[in-house]
Structure 1
Amino acid sequence: MRQYLGKVTKHDVENAFGVTILPAGILLREEHLVLLEKHRIDSLFVIDADQSAAGTPADQTREAVGKLKERSRAFYDAFKETGQIPLKELEAEIVPAVQNIARTPGMFKLFEAVKAQGDYTYEHNIGVGVISTMIGKWLQFSEDELAELTMAATLHDIGKVKIPEHILNKPGKLTNEEFELVKKHTIYGYEILKKTEGVSYRAALVALQHHEREDGSGYPLGLTADKIDAFSKIVAVADIFHAMSSDRPHQKALPFYEVVRQLRECFFGQLDPAIVHALLDNLTAKLVGQQVLLTDQRVGEIVYINPHDGEAPLIKVGEEFVDLSSKRQIQIQRIIGF
């Protein structure tokens, strides 16, 4: 199966029972090969990625995100070299590009595109910028507020340039001393942005506060809800959602149901409930019609959302309907394309 890695499916891929396992046009990665092997599918029609339908919205989004990730890397490299934030590039190229990507229809394809899958440090900044901007739109921010939020979210981890890369990219658990050092990126970021002319003070606050929690359990200052800036609260939610959904040096992306569960648990004290609601309600509203991989490795389509239990929808698997609210042993492993 390894020969298919990086190729694009030409047609829908069905298992022996006629159930679609993967849709046409999907870029094959490791998890797709595992899924194909579990369904005993050893051959399929594929095309090279550069021959696929490059004009489709999903492909355009992936291309735009890829270019933006490269800009992000160049931006941070320039900052490391000069000690000065390339503000003109940030305002003229990066912030408008993040906002354009955040307007992309097809939420789950967009989330798939912004997930970190390789160079986490640079990809994470873009992902958090896009997700924060989406949340700001759902909260009906003005255009000026959105521009300020996008910039603050994209710069939220700027302080990590002062943390040694071998610690940021360490595959195992950090020691207490290493974690204490990583936590200082919030203070470093605040100091960098506070003295950068042309960057708002709120962006500096976001760099300082995005790991603070409503109940005072966060860092670096242990602030409580009334002392945390609203932008910082939004970036905190986007930061956690993107991190849990992405492959990180020390941990693989969590299953969809686990991401949702942990976010809901954070309602109770840690994150602003209105912001978490905005994210999860919009996720839930877009679930109908999505193909999903279940934890029992079957693939189905969400056909109905239980208004009293949005995380346990009704799913059509072949000719069978599976109600996750009554079959708690089965959950959504992942949205196909997310």
Structure 2
Amino acid sequence: MDNDLGRTIKNDLINAYGVTVIPAGSRLNAEHLELIRKQKIDRFDILFADEADQAPPYQKMVNSTVDLSKELFESYRISRKIPLADIRKDVLPVIQEISRNPDIFALFHSVQGKDDYTYQHNIGVAVLSTLIGRWLEMSEAELSVLSMAATLHDIGKLKIPSELLNKPGKLTDEEFTQVKKHTVYGYEILKETTGANSRIALVALQHHERNDGKGYPLGLTDEQIDPYSKIVAVADIFHAMSSKRPYHEPMPFHMIVDQMRRGSFGALDPHIVTVFLENVVKRSVGRDVVLTDGRVGEIVYLNPHDIETPLIRIGDEYIDLSKRTELNIREISI
């Protein structure tokens, strides 16, 4: 960090409450560095002005990685082998790079499923899982396994008919039972894959398990579910709900946050959900948002008692969402 003395920051640096502690455009001095340490601001959240113009074209990176992963996954249909070496060499480094994008809302937009959902979902979940892993302070070795597990979490869907995966309407009970088998298929494929860490196979099997035992395929409860599976489950839900799919449009931001908190998608790990949502929301300060009444404003302050209902400025008007319960954030602009 000391090597960054004198460099100009591109983005506002904010603390855990979403308060700007060092404004964009500042040249870092010794006092700034000490403040960064005291406020526990993550180094990878800082974008420097001299790096901004050289920032990787994330959308192009995502698109090319989706195309490559599709090609690699489809090769399984012919060879019956998962090309782990190729994924490790050509896909995982890009996932790691994309997950370091300090502008997480641009990151969310770049990995959002739109057209070729199945393969976009694999990459999107891998990027989001890696991001969550960093916020949980996992080591690089752990992140490497997590990224691979998240990339391959739905590999069992290669054995599910595409017409079921892409069906625009609601699945029948029989069809849903068939789709749920992708977890067991994925586990079996990865258990037979030479060089695959055993936890990668567990994630394929367990990413639809829930803490209360109401998930599938085995109805496992909290302590029986691998921690990596719990991380991928959170990333899987967030990506699925924020993406366009054959049977639903992207869900508004406030609804995803609220329903993840309430457990509407099943009993996800509360600690992982909290770490994910709080890190997302605290980075929203200074962003333009679209409210549910269609007005556009800027998040200027987070309520420390409920960071999901921030203070919004629209022109000269300030709106406290904690007191205006009829209003919510529909969309956060990139």
How far did 1:82 drift?
1.7
SS at match of 1:310: strand
Q: Which amino acid aligns with 1:265?
A: R
SS at match of 1:171: coil
| 2:298 is equivalent to residue 280 of structure 1 | no
Going from structure 1 to structure 2, the CA distance change for 1:57 and 1:239 (only over 3 Å counts) comes to: farther
Equivalences for residues 290-301 of structure 1 within 5 A: 290-301=287-298
Query: In 2, Cα distance between the equivalents of 1:58 and 1:120?
Result: 26
Kindly provide the CA deviation profile for residues 44-84 of structure 1, in whole angstroms up to 9, marking residues without a partner as x. Answer: xxxxxxxxxxx857771111111111111111121122211
1:258 is aligned, of 255, 258, 264, to: 255
| 2:151 is equivalent to residue 154 of structure 1 | yes
- The answer to whether the 8 Å contact 1:267/1:273 transfers is no
SS at match of 1:198: coil
- 2:65 alignment counterpart: 68
How far did 1:284 drift?
1.5
SS at match of 2:189: helix
How far did 1:267 drift?
9.2
1:134 is aligned, of 106, 131, 134, to: 131
Equivalences for residues 61-140 of structure 1 within 5 A: 61-140=58-137
Matched positions, count: 283
- 1:316 alignment counterpart: 313
Query: In 2, Cα distance between the equivalents of 1:308 and 1:269?
Result: 25
Query: In 2, Cα distance between the equivalents of 1:81 and 1:292?
Result: 47
Query: In 2, Cα distance between the equivalents of 1:58 and 1:283?
Result: 21
Query: In 2, Cα distance between the equivalents of 1:284 and 1:123?
Result: 24
1:203 is aligned, of 200, 204, 213, to: 200
Kindly provide the CA deviation profile for residues 176-234 of structure 1, in whole angstroms up to 9, marking residues without a partner as x. Answer: 11100000000000000000001111000000000000000000000001110010010
Kindly provide the CA deviation profile for residues 137-174 of structure 1, in whole angstroms up to 9, marking residues without a partner as x. Answer: 11111111000000000000000000000000001000
RMSD in angstroms over aligned alpha carbons? 1.5
Q: Which amino acid aligns with 1:294?
A: L
Query: In 1, Cα distance between the equivalents of 2:123 and 2:265?
Result: 28
- The answer to whether the 8 Å contact 2:292/2:328 transfers is yes
Query: In 2, Cα distance between the equivalents of 1:284 and 1:306?
Result: 11
- 1:183 alignment counterpart: 180
Q: Which amino acid aligns with 1:119?
A: D
Judge which range, 313-322 or 115-124, deviates more.
313-322
Going from structure 1 to structure 2, the CA distance change for 1:57 and 1:286 (only over 3 Å counts) comes to: farther
Which segments of structure 1 move beyond 3 Å, counting only runs of 4 or more?
55-59
- The answer to whether the 8 Å contact 2:215/2:266 transfers is no
- 2:38 alignment counterpart: none
Normalising to structure 1: TM-score of the pair?
A: 0.81
Q: Which amino acid aligns with 1:133?
A: T
Query: In 2, Cα distance between the equivalents of 1:109 and 1:58?
Result: 12
Query: In 1, Cα distance between the equivalents of 2:202 and 2:250?
Result: 28
Query: In 2, Cα distance between the equivalents of 1:57 and 1:131?
Result: 23
Normalising to structure 2: TM-score of the pair?
A: 0.82
Q: Which runs of 5 or more residues in structure 1 are unaligned?
A: 1-54
- The answer to whether the 8 Å contact 2:208/2:215 transfers is yes
2:244 is aligned, of 231, 239, 247, to: 247
Q: Which amino acid aligns with 1:305?
A: L
Q: Which amino acid aligns with 2:323?
A: S
